[in-house]
A and B are shown apart, each in its own frame.
Chain A
Amino acid sequence: MANSVEVLSDKCVGCGQCAGACPFGAISTLERPEHPKKFKLAVVDLNKCAYCGTCSQTCKFSAIELKKDASQSSVDKSEYKGVWVYAEQRHGEIADVVYELLNEGKRLAKQLGTTLSAVLIGDGLKSKVQDLINRGADKVYVCDDPIFIEFQDDPYTSILTQLIKKENPEIILIGATNIGRSFSSRVAARIHTGLTADCTSLEIDAQTRNLQQTRPAFGGNIMATILTPSRRPQMSTVRRKVFKEAKVEEGRKGEIVDCKVDVATLVNRTKFLGFIKDASSNINIGDADIIVSGGRGVGKVEGFKLLEELAEILGGAVGASRAAVDSEWIPYSHQIGQTGKTVAPKVYIACGISGQIQHIVGMSSSDIIIAINKDASCPMMQTATYALEGDLYEIIPNITKEIKAIRCNS
């Protein structure tokens, strides 16, 4: 049986509620002159339909019947046990997101009554193992070999796939970094399982042990909860700063598994030739406690000088919306939002940023949001903890001056 979605023409009144609700824009209403009351009829474009069921849930007349094909072959889920975190390292340092994933992974493992493991792939990283155990890993798989000194998709995919096939974990969490996003999809494709990108919330369904993975879609306009119901492991990537970092518990005990690496079994079709550090990204906006960010309302490149002055006195970094970056007032490395970086500072000062959803998704986890804008009705002003209505060219210099005054007095 194939999947089907059927509009029952005798029940449909052509109200169009389903068409409005469909996140994929797959439903339209057609004129139905032959109907006694001239009701329109909802029609589903199956090219666009994802069979998510939103329409049938929305319909007040039970006029849409959704049938999902249950014949999808399922693996024996009971053979898969344990939560894994990919302990990403770059240049010998564990990525921050790993500690956040260990915290979340611990919570999921506890709910499932299973253990949390970390997978460390690299060269000469044995000193990092205890760190992972201190952060909550019950077990650490160490794949240590000179071939792993720098990240290359081929050997990393091969070794992680080999390990997954051998150990059968039920969940794997991976940081949504450039490395994580580059090779996790290859791993998922090779073992033929589901991978859900950029999850912002993870919950367990106790009955099925399915992981409910919630993520933004359509640039954060809507949220979708995704399942991998019949395949294992369930794989998710998570951006940094979505979950809180795991606390350190000195001297915690854990098991260390030294994985044998048979280099002959690792495909490698690329060669790493070198790394060139980005000199301009000395202050990483992802690490700053305070970010002063500018958008379209800054209006000109000179305006960012004011923002820099304020950021400097606050010991913070300068961020920007896509509009400011596209206007070439500031380089792309400062861009915050859907197509830039995700940040969660203590204080986020949005200057002349209206707050398009694509920007909001990149900074909405900030503790305190301060908006400075002439337009009090824009989304950023509506969202902000403190909304300052007025001209940023007048307000910002005054803030800078005021802070200097306080500092002098104390």
Chain B
Amino acid sequence: MDIIVCIKQVPNTTNIQIDHETGRLKRDGVESIINPFDEYAIEEGVRIKEKVGAKVTVITMGPPQAEAALREAIAKGADEGVLVSDRAFGGADTLATSYALSTAIKSLGKFDMVICGKQASDGDTAQVGPGIAEMLDIPHVAYVKKVEASDDKTIKVERMMEDGYDLIESALPVLLTVVKEINNPRVASLKGRMAARKAVIKVLDAATIGADTSKIGLNGSPTQVMKIFTPPQRTGGEKFTGEAKEVAAVLVKRLSDLSLI
């Protein structure tokens, strides 16, 4: 079985701070990490490989330094890394990104399954996974929390919904986007780290994958950023300090006056 895992290198946003005086992101010392949701995608690919035998190829689109994310994925058990990188891809929105990645995936040859994290932590759109499936002309199941069973033609998965989960069967090849409930990603082994260091990362540019230049980068992006601004802060209200008993009483009185309790 051939499995493709799509990942993205993102700034570690849990640590990103904003300077409210200048309204700017404090970028100093912000490290680049694999999008946290993609860690589950890598792990699931590796688990399927360990169970039924498969080749796991991780692919990412980004600047040359995104290679580090691919090596990290190889350290965690993936077999090969592919970096889709070209200045012409710059400024891509989710549609142009889906096009570039799907075109790169097609150029790699046969595949049975594509796995993505449910969304990236910087853009948060959850649009690229289903977009890739559409452009590969294959079905997809989003929000997968469990792979129940698979053979060489079909796969059965649990799809997380707001009120429970759906059991869905899909024909292969299929694209899955996975949620954090699906597994617990492993820590890279020493052997994995060695493999990652030695791995040769394949780099693909727009011409190599035969991308239509009108469909990539900013030109291929129907959405455009008009402006970027810092959200206004909600201003605080009353402060209560003192003995726990007192502040509790004042609060309850206040809520009761407002008929909230």
Contact = CB atoms under 8 A, between A and B. Distances in A.
Contact of A54 (B171, B223, B228): B228
* Interface range on chain A (Cβ under 8 Å from partner): 35 or more
Interface in A292-307: none
Interface string B1-24: 000000000010110101000101
A47 B60 CA distance: 13
Given A69-B218, A277-B164, A194 B141 contact: no
A227 B13 contact: no
Contacts of B122: 217-219
A194 B222 contact: yes
Interface string A184-228: 111011101111111000000000000010001111111111111
Q: Determine the main DSSP class of B at the interface with A.
A: mixed
A284 to B, nearest CB: 8
A192 B133 CA distance: 14
B85 interface: yes
Given A150-B166, A273-B168, A402-B249, A220 B125 contact: no
A398 B250 CA distance: 11
Contacts of B240: 386-389
A25 B227 contact: no
Interface stretch (B73-81, B93-101, B107-115, B189-197): B93-101
Contact of B233 (A20, A181, A183, A383): A383
Contact of A222 (B129, B139, B228): B228
Interface string B108-146: 000000000000011111111111011100111111000
A179 B91 CA distance: 28
A395 B248 contact: yes
Contact of B127 (A3, A49, A197): A197
B163 A90 contact: yes
Contact of A387 (B90, B162, B231, B239): B239
Interface string A269-296: 1111111111001001010001000000
Contact of B91 (A51, A217, A364, A398): A51
A177 interface: yes
B222 A387 contact: no
Given A47-B87, A271-B168, A399 B251 contact: yes
B169 A271 contact: yes
Given A223-B230, A269-B139, A398-B244, A217 B165 contact: no
Contact of A347 (B130, B238, B255): B255
B244 A391 contact: yes
Nearest to B173: A269
A314 B261 contact: yes
19 contacts: A25-B30, A151-B166, A183-B130, A185-B127, A185-B130, A186-B130, A193-B222, A195-B94, A196-B223, A217-B123, A219-B122, A227-B224, A276-B167, A376-B239, A384-B237, A385-B236, A387-B237, A389-B247, A406-B252
> Lowest 10 A-B CB distances belong to which pairs?
A398-B248, A47-B63, A194-B222, A394-B244, A194-B223, A197-B125, A269-B139, A182-B142, A52-B225, A185-B127
Interface of A: 2-3, 20-21, 23, 25, 45-54, 68-69, 71-73, 90-91, 150-154, 157, 177-179, 181-186, 188-190, 192-198, 212, 216-231, 269-278, 281, 284, 286, 290, 314, 332, 338-339, 346-347, 356-358, 364, 368, 370, 376, 381-391, 394-395, 398-399, 401-403, 406
Interface of B: 11, 13-14, 16, 18, 22, 24-25, 27, 30, 62-64, 85, 87, 89-91, 93-95, 98, 121-131, 133-135, 138-143, 156, 158-171, 174, 180-181, 214, 217-219, 221-231, 233-242, 244-245, 247-249, 251-252, 254-256, 258, 260-261
